[in-house]
A = this chain, B = another copy of it.
Amino acid sequence: MPIDTRHPREIRQDIRNGKLTGITAGLGQNYVQANLAVLPKDQAYDFLLFCQRNPRPCPLLEVTDVGSPEPVGVAPGADLRTDIPRYRIYKDGVLADEVTDATPYWRDDLVAFLLGCSFTFEWALLDAGIRLWHVEQGKNVAMWRTSTQCRPAGVFHGPMVVSMRPIAAAQLAKAVTASARFPGAHGAPVHVGDPAAIGITDIARPDWGDSQEFARGDVPVFWACGVTPQAVALASRPPFMITHSPGHMFITDLPNSALSAI
């Protein structure tokens, strides 16, 4: 995977100018990437409360002022309408458009939410010497809807989505402590071991992403997944919503280490 080590400001400039239009993996090495969810103010209180009540799947990094596309807390000067390579536009919960510039869809009543993403804790796992099969193979992680219900908030409710990575038994404790340091990027695993305990019937058939290969002694480890808030928001069929397109994240000015709780 090619690595672009420039500062996020320069990378976002290329995205804004249409020079970079692909997925953001490998861009802005060691900087926090974020999921985007944009909702009208009418839905913003319930969504903010949903995130507060479900911090593992929904680790909030930034909420913009109503109508402002600038995430002043994590990337001052950036513009969330143009600085993401690809957006999805939803109307009444249905995909209506996919664009590289969301400016024509921006409105004065919109609030943008940026949520931490698994790239940060995967960086922490790799940094701790833990091997990740899907990274070595260039695949996606495996993701499932679970039988664990999120705590509802107003119009938003639904199951927690998890991602799964096979971890060598000898590296299990390290995987827990290394990811636990990053509550802003889903934190510690929500479950270790038996998939059936959280309602997953077939570990070989994920709901999203790629099936993972287990080496002898590997244990399935499940982390809360950033797909949760988008899935929950869309399930409520909000009249209008903007998200990033899968893999096309917002690159913040925060180094991954800035999210460390300790």
> Which residues does A use to contact B, with CB under 8 Å?
44-45, 48-49, 51-53, 60, 63, 65, 73, 151, 154, 177, 180-181, 183, 187-188, 261-262
Q: A48-B49, A52-B48, A73-B53 are in contact. Are A262 and B63 (CB under 8 A)?
A: no
Interface pair A63/B52, CB less than 8 Å apart: yes
Q: A181-B262, A188-B262, A262-B188 are in contact. Are A52 and B60 (CB under 8 A)?
A: yes
A-B contact pairs, 25 of them (CB 8 A): A44-B45, A45-B45, A45-B48, A48-B48, A48-B49, A48-B52, A51-B52, A52-B52, A52-B60, A52-B63, A53-B63, A53-B73, A65-B154, A73-B151, A177-B262, A180-B261, A180-B262, A181-B261, A181-B262, A183-B183, A183-B261, A188-B262, A261-B261, A261-B262, A262-B262
Q: A44 to chain B: which residues have CB within 8 Å?
A: 45
Tell me, in angstroms, the Cα distance from A151 to B62 when the chains sit together: 12
Residue in A45, A63, A188 whose Cβ sees the most chain B Cβ within 10 Å: A45
Number of copies: 2
Tell me, in angstroms, the Cα distance from A4 to B31 when the chains sit together: 48
Q: A49 to chain B: which residues have CB within 8 Å?
A: 48, 63
Q: Which 4 A-B pairs have the closest CB atoms?
A: A180-B262, A45-B45, A261-B261, A183-B261
Q: A48 to chain B: which residues have CB within 8 Å?
A: 45, 48-49, 52
